[in-house]
Chain A
Amino acid sequence: MSLSIQNLTANIGDQQILKGVNLEVPAGEVHAIMGKNGSGKSTLAKIMAGHPDYTVTGGDVLMDGQSLFEMEEPDERSRAGLFLAFQYPMEIPGVTIANFLRAAVQARLPEGEELEATDYYAELYKKMDALKIQRSFTSRSVNEGFSGGEKKRCEILQMSMLEPKYAVLDETDSGLDIDALKIVSEGVNALRSPNRGFLVITHYQRLLDYIVPDKVHVMVDGRIVMSGDKDLALELEAKGYDWVTEPALA
């Protein structure tokens, strides 16, 4: 059981962004990808989720043995168990959090089965309490007028409601102050389980103090150039990226 990225190459337009990514995240583990801006980290996340702007030119991503690319639409991949916490969550005016999540949970039920409203709200409130989110939050429009911290908490709330097999967190720490970072990290840690894998994409080591990874990978120019344990993150923090970057590009 793993999320297995195999020699993945991808373009946007004519420009190659991913140049052969290999990475395996076993269920139960948390892996971090670190790298400079423009190294291809966020692209990797979007490609796995099925963003229409990118073209996969080679390789594969297997989720517990099933190719993500056999599922054409992003929603099929989502329902199969892949979750992406967005770096910039989108605003959806007029659509409340409660209705949005309800539609998403409903979409996972077999055809003809109707989600029981009382069960749904009981579950939603339980998970909101765990993330210290006020009840009034449910009637606000998705991400509209949210602070950075609220947006990220909302992403984690969605993740906890949808219970994915594999979750990709794209720069979840960006725009968070230290208190929000703690709450979000606690939320993620509470979801760690032997049946669930995480791929945490981040620019800074700071997040990894709270979400402690099993492995850290460094991405440079569309490839994973170095992997190690959590200490690698500290080393990157101390030395910067250049010592990895330069030999890789040479």
Chain B
Amino acid sequence: MPATIEQDDKPQIDIDRSVGDFRYDVNYEFDAGVGLSEATIDYICDVKKDPDWIREFRKDGYRKFLEKPMPTHWASKDLENIVFENIRYYLSQGVQPKRSWDDVPEEMKKTFERLGIPEQERKYLAGVEAQFDSEAAYSNIKAAVGEQGVIFVGSTEGLHKHPEIFKKWFGKVIPSSDNKFSALNSAVFSGGSFIYVPPGVKVKHPLQAYFRINAQNFGQFERTLIIADEGSEVMYMEGCTAPKFETSTLHSAVVELVALKGAKIQYVTVQNWSPNVFNLVTKRGLAHEDAEIKWIDCNIGSRLTMKYPGVIMKGKRARGEVISIALASDGQHQDTGAKMIHAADDTTSNVVSKSISIGSGVATYRGLVDIPPHRKGCKNNTECDALLINSHSRTDTYPAIVARGNQNSFQHEASVSKINSEQIFYMQQRGLTEGQAMSLAVNGFVNDLVREFPMEYSVELKRLIDLEMEGSVG
């Protein structure tokens, strides 16, 4: 029996963004204006009272940003549509985050309450940082965690109060010159988290950051640095939302992780960007001997996401892992992947990527696994599965595995599947609407990965997928 349905005449995707799509008017005390120049950078430095070395770091980043080409030749021409002169690079109501929600300015507090942050904090988090445009409006850590010597503050506070640790690692995992957007972030970074976990301390509950873009024509450039000292463990979770604007918004973060000997870092992202956001993020971790870095990454929404979390396994027996889910709805492009650099013997990496393309959405997997010839005992496993929903969806896989020498093992599996009309018919025959059926099938596809997310986030994730799928049928 023929099993195809022409889905071209299906109504266009209309995503329900009710969760994050709202905004309150805010009067900003500090505004660097529109466009980027040395003067913009000086303005930011002055507001933040940056030390000279940071001012110089920013200006160096700015020069590299100007020099570096746009990666349009291999990524997406859509990058050319970012008009850097139209973006506002710094907006805040002051640089000092509040320790109590009661002190947070009303509009910001209302925003985060609506997003459920204070409630989650009470229920299951060890600490929270809530960033509103350029600066954290709120930052706090549970007393018991602070007493163990754990530092969890914003990047500005980190560099002012803990320069000895900050300076040692800042910009070392991801140099400003890594790419055009890491250079841009280096020039204008603001917000993000600085975390230090002392040797042997195991932080039981997750630390969470929430990044909220509220202003139009705005660029958010948070900078996160996490250092897990020897034998320590920490889980960090970040969530992101923005209201839907007519014009594009830029989110360009840099995240550096350092796991010293035997330490474990898990970094969980659930982003739910509105479809006008360019999300161009550089994330990389450095894993020392016996250390483990795991990126758990879920990309929903945005206009274009380019993000390839990486792990440099610098010490023997280090482990790197990337678990990622990308959902590209109509008109969106999720260009995601992983970089695994095996820089020591007996290192192990694992990449599991699942992508879903809906309508004209495009999901691309771009991977790099590098095992130099003189290494031995290195292992990599890469799995990429793509799910296509309806006829004009597209998916690309570019797995580059550079494994020289013969004392290492690696395996790569890729699959592409479609939700076919017979499956939808079967589920509809049991009483589920087309939207419910799609949603169930998509949740089924990512089910094994969703289990890797902390419980609270997996519930959130399922809800986000449901919303996307409900919106994807008429």
Contacts and interface: CB of A to CB of B under 8 A. Distances in A.
Contact of A103 (B1, B425, B436): B436
Given A92-B444, A93-B445, A95-B444, A75 B423 contact: no
B440 A92 contact: yes
Which of the listed residues A49, A92, A158 has the most CB atoms from chain B within 10 Å of its own CB? Answer: A92
A99 B433 contact: no
B432 A104 contact: yes
Nearest to B447: A94
B448 A94 contact: yes
B472 to A, nearest CB: 16
B39 interface: no
Given A75-B431, A94-B445, A107 B425 contact: no
A107 B435 CA distance: 12
A94 B465 CA distance: 15
Indicate the member of A42, A95, A101 with the most B CB atoms within 10 Å.
A95
Interface stretch (A3-11, A82-90, A211-219): A82-90
Contacts of A100: 427, 430, 440
Nearest to A107: B431
Contacts, number: 89
B69 interface: no
B436 A74 contact: no
Contacts of B447: 94-95
A181 B115 CA distance: 54
Interface string B444-474: 1111100000000000000000000000000
Interface residues of B, number: 28
Given A52-B421, A53-B2, A74 B443 contact: no
Contacts of A107: 430-433, 436
B444 A141 contact: yes
| Majority-rule SS of A interface residues | mixed
B266 interface: no
Given A94-B443, A95-B440, A104 B430 contact: yes
A74 B428 CA distance: 6
A51 B444 contact: no
Contacts of B423: 90-92
Nearest to B387: A93
A69 to B, nearest CB: 15
B443 A73 contact: no
Contacts of A84: 429
A208 interface: no
B426 interface: yes
A152 to B, nearest CB: 14
Given A94-B445, A107-B431, A74 B440 contact: no
A92 B427 contact: yes
A78 interface: yes
A176 B444 CA distance: 28
B430 A162 contact: yes
Interface string B400-431: 00000000000000000100011101111111
Given A73-B433, A92-B444, A103-B436, A78 B2 contact: no
Nearest to B6: A52
B428 A75 contact: yes
A75 B426 contact: no
A78 B430 contact: yes
B208 to A, nearest CB: 28
Contacts of B433: 73, 75, 107
B311 to A, nearest CB: 27
A35 interface: no
A141 B421 CA distance: 18
Top 6 nearest A-B pairs (CB, nearest first) are A94-B444, A95-B444, A74-B428, A94-B447, A90-B426, A104-B430
Interface of B: 1-3, 5, 417, 421-423, 425-434, 436-437, 440-441, 443-448
29 contacts: A42-B1, A52-B425, A74-B428, A75-B428, A78-B429, A78-B430, A79-B431, A86-B429, A90-B422, A90-B423, A90-B425, A90-B426, A90-B427, A91-B423, A92-B427, A92-B440, A94-B443, A94-B447, A94-B448, A95-B441, A95-B443, A100-B440, A103-B440, A104-B430, A104-B432, A107-B430, A107-B431, A107-B433, A162-B430
Given A75-B430, A103-B436, A103-B440, 5 more contacts: A73-B434, A83-B429, A92-B423, A95-B440, A104-B431
